[in-house]
Chains A and B, each alone.
Chain A
Amino acid sequence: MTDAPDAVVSAFEAERRRLLHRQWIHALLGVGITSVILGLSFHQSQFFDPEIGANPIGRILEFLARMAPHLRTEALLEGREVDGSLASWFYDLPGWLAALWETIEIAVVATVFGAVAAVFASFLCARNLMPWAPVRFLVRRLLEAIRTVPDLIMALILVAAFGAGATAGVITLTIATLGGLGKLFAEINEEVDPRQLEMLDAAGAGPVSKIRFGVLPQVLPNYASYILLRLEINVAAAGALGIVGAGGIGLELQRAITYTEFSTYLAILLLMVLVIFVIDMTSEAIRHNLLLRAEKS
């Protein structure tokens, strides 16, 4: 096509130059600002520190080598006393499993209490169930505040109050669960079919029976799937609590680091990851099932 008017082409080129010019300015500004911010961030994070930031890959490799367990193929299945056996790597397996069980208990107990608290909180801040706006506002802000404070910071304060041990961990995760689930439950509550509530209103039902017969039957499957999801999150979170003294496997991790037993750390880490993985897969399967059943009904 060469017979088209050249005016079209020159108009196009002029417009293109104008746009390109603007794009360049935007790109330069964007790239400039971003790289300054990121540069400062990496500088602050010691990435340009000649001692720490230099050769990070090499240091990671060196470190991985230190983490690798000392294993000998011929002694792999020998007892705990034999150097190079699997049993000597996992030398305190019963103790670690007990600590992991404690972690799971912390997560389960906290999920149960947190979920119950979240149900109450969610009724207090759902628009269709709580007529007083100030209450809704306060409860919502409170839940938001809980979600903002990292749970480990909460755990630090609670360990100071309750002493080292699982109690502080349970309370931390209960509060965190309240914050997380409360918001989700409130959203579910607000999607409840209003006709059923109107029917109960017409029948003269009080607020408690309205919730019992109008809301709960509709929301329970959704609640259940969120509670399971939260349980997964809580098991993982509980794994870290011990590091600040709030019980569970984290304490063993902390101990391994204190004695610079890096291969022990790896052993416990693998064990922990395995448990979390199994719980995640199980809970995912159950949630999937719940979802299917909720769709059918």
Chain B
Amino acid sequence: MLELRNISKSFGETIAVDGVSLTVARGEMVGVIGRSGSGKSTLLRLINRLAEPTSGEVLWDGEGVSRLKRRDLRKWRRRCAMIFQQFNLSPRLDVITNVLIGVVAERPLAMTLMKFFPASDRADAIRELDALDMGQTAFQRAGTLSGGQQQRVAIARAMMQKPDMILADEPVASLDPGNAEVVMKALQAAAGARGIPVLVSLHSLDLARRYCTRIVAMSKGRIIFDGSPSELSAEIVDRIYSAGANRNPAVHLAEVGAAA
């Protein structure tokens, strides 16, 4: 179970995440919605510790992860797999190696640096790819694939990490509608069949309603709605998306800057 306790993050003067508390249980698929710059992306990065919180705590099964260092931190990152809008694969490496990067935190350093992985890892990797219908591309360079295919490779890598949780930061924002459905279904399968909690930030309210079991709406770094998709009334949606004052471009810029 993931628990956020009063977590905040500011970039200089601008506050991206402002005292958020949140609990996510196994098997939940949580859609995080909100305008650009509402703090969704930063929130996910705080959990994986790609960004460090200014204050507050992240706990997993009651244990704090904010003070983990080096090897322990890397193992924590392995456990909460992250999926990005721009896939973040290594374009010049082949697909299978990109998937195998999911186990580097658990294998001896020298071996992984020589790109040597045990046969059992290779078998796992190809099975994960095959499950997403990507087995045929194993030896192609990741950069030669289409966006939808690359995101599927990224999901295979995430699964390869044997994650306790999946964080997906706008996973479908760069994809066409068809591929978006494929990726959302894969995430849903992970949450449903494997019981892994999934936190997915989304632009599309429609996708959030159809795939998520729970929706969290953010505005100006705060949670303004937390409930089931059916509870999300038109009035709340209006509050999330219409208020011009909600828009905080500085936070968006800071997030983009942190991601770059």
The answer on direct contact between A and B (beta carbons under 8 Å) is yes
Closest residue to B162 on the A side, CB-wise?
Answer: A1
Residues of A within 8 A of B127 (CB): 1-2, 4, 8-9
Q: A1-33 vs B: 1/0 string, CB under 8 Å?
A: 110110011001101100100000000000000
Residues of B within 8 A of A4 (CB): 127, 130-131
* Chain A nearest Cβ from B180, distance in angstroms: 24
**Given A1-B159, A8-B135, A16 contacting B130 (CB threshold 8 A):** no
Closest residue to B159 on the A side, CB-wise?
Answer: A1
Interface status of B170 (Cβ within 8 A of chain A): no
Q: Which positions 57-80 of chain B face chain A at CB distance < 8 Å?
A: none
Closest residue to A10 on the B side, CB-wise?
Answer: B123
Residues of B within 8 A of A19 (CB): 139
* Chain B nearest Cβ from A2, distance in angstroms: 8
Known: A1-B128, A8-B126, A12-B126. 15 other contacts (CB 8 A): A1-B127, A1-B159, A2-B127, A4-B130, A8-B127, A8-B130, A9-B123, A9-B126, A9-B127, A15-B138, A15-B139, A16-B96, A16-B122, A16-B139, A19-B139
Closest residue to A7 on the B side, CB-wise?
Answer: B130
Q: CA of A16 to CA of B126 in the docked complex: distance in angstroms?
A: 11
Closest residue to B156 on the A side, CB-wise?
Answer: A1
**A–B Cβ pairs within 8 angstroms, 27 of them:** A1-B127, A1-B128, A1-B131, A1-B159, A2-B127, A4-B127, A4-B130, A4-B131, A8-B126, A8-B127, A8-B130, A8-B135, A9-B122, A9-B126, A12-B96, A12-B123, A12-B126, A12-B135, A12-B138, A13-B119, A13-B122, A15-B138, A15-B139, A16-B122, A16-B138, A16-B139, A19-B139
Interface status of B124 (Cβ within 8 A of chain A): yes
Interface residues of A (CB under 8 A from B): 1-2, 4-5, 8-9, 12-13, 15-16, 19
Q: Which positions 129-156 of chain B face chain A at CB distance < 8 Å?
A: 130-131, 135, 138-139
Residue of A1, A15, A16 with most partner-chain B CB within 10 A: A1
* Chain A nearest Cβ from B162, distance in angstroms: 10
Q: Does the CB pair B124–A1 fall under 8 Å?
A: yes
Q: CA of A8 to CA of B123 in the docked complex: distance in angstroms?
A: 9
Q: CA of A74 to CA of B248 in the docked complex: distance in angstroms?
A: 63
* Chain B nearest Cβ from A184, distance in angstroms: 33
* Chain A nearest Cβ from B242, distance in angstroms: 40
Q: CA of A8 to CA of B138 in the docked complex: distance in angstroms?
A: 11
Residues of B within 8 A of A1 (CB): 124, 127-128, 131, 159
Q: CA of A9 to CA of B128 in the docked complex: distance in angstroms?
A: 11
Listed from nearest, the 8 A-B pairs whose CB atoms lie closest are A4-B127, A12-B126, A1-B127, A9-B123, A8-B130, A4-B130, A8-B135, A9-B126
Interface of B is mostly: helix
Residue of A2, A4, A5 with most partner-chain B CB within 10 A: A4
Q: CA of A5 to CA of B135 in the docked complex: distance in angstroms?
A: 12
* Chain B nearest Cβ from A269, distance in angstroms: 42
Residues of A within 8 A of B124 (CB): 1
Residues of B within 8 A of A16 (CB): 96, 122, 138-139
Q: CA of A140 to CA of B238 in the docked complex: distance in angstroms?
A: 68
Residue of B122, B130, B135, B159 with most partner-chain A CB within 10 A: B130
Q: CA of A19 to CA of B95 in the docked complex: distance in angstroms?
A: 14
Closest residue to B138 on the A side, CB-wise?
Answer: A12
Q: Which positions 82-131 of chain B face chain A at CB distance < 8 Å?
A: 96, 119, 122-124, 126-128, 130-131
* Chain B nearest Cβ from A132, distance in angstroms: 46
* Chain A nearest Cβ from B248, distance in angstroms: 33
* Chain A nearest Cβ from B161, distance in angstroms: 13
* Chain A nearest Cβ from B96, distance in angstroms: 8
Q: CA of A224 to CA of B213 in the docked complex: distance in angstroms?
A: 65
* Chain A nearest Cβ from B1, distance in angstroms: 24
* Chain B nearest Cβ from A8, distance in angstroms: 5
Q: CA of A63 to CA of B131 in the docked complex: distance in angstroms?
A: 65
Q: Which positions 164-200 of chain B face chain A at CB distance < 8 Å?
A: none
Closest residue to A12 on the B side, CB-wise?
Answer: B126
Closest residue to A9 on the B side, CB-wise?
Answer: B123
Q: CA of A4 to CA of B126 in the docked complex: distance in angstroms?
A: 9
Q: CA of A2 to CA of B127 in the docked complex: distance in angstroms?
A: 8
Q: CA of A13 to CA of B123 in the docked complex: distance in angstroms?
A: 8
Residues of A within 8 A of B123 (CB): 9, 12
Q: CA of A286 to CA of B119 in the docked complex: distance in angstroms?
A: 60
Q: CA of A1 to CA of B161 in the docked complex: distance in angstroms?
A: 12
Q: Which positions 2-53 of chain B face chain A at CB distance < 8 Å?
A: none
Closest residue to B130 on the A side, CB-wise?
Answer: A8
Residues of A within 8 A of B119 (CB): 13
Closest residue to A4 on the B side, CB-wise?
Answer: B127
Q: CA of A8 to CA of B119 in the docked complex: distance in angstroms?
A: 14
* Chain B nearest Cβ from A90, distance in angstroms: 49
* Chain A nearest Cβ from B23, distance in angstroms: 29
Q: CA of A15 to CA of B96 in the docked complex: distance in angstroms?
A: 12
Residue of B96, B122, B123, B159 with most partner-chain A CB within 10 A: B123
Closest residue to B160 on the A side, CB-wise?
Answer: A1
* Chain B nearest Cβ from A232, distance in angstroms: 33
* Chain B nearest Cβ from A85, distance in angstroms: 52
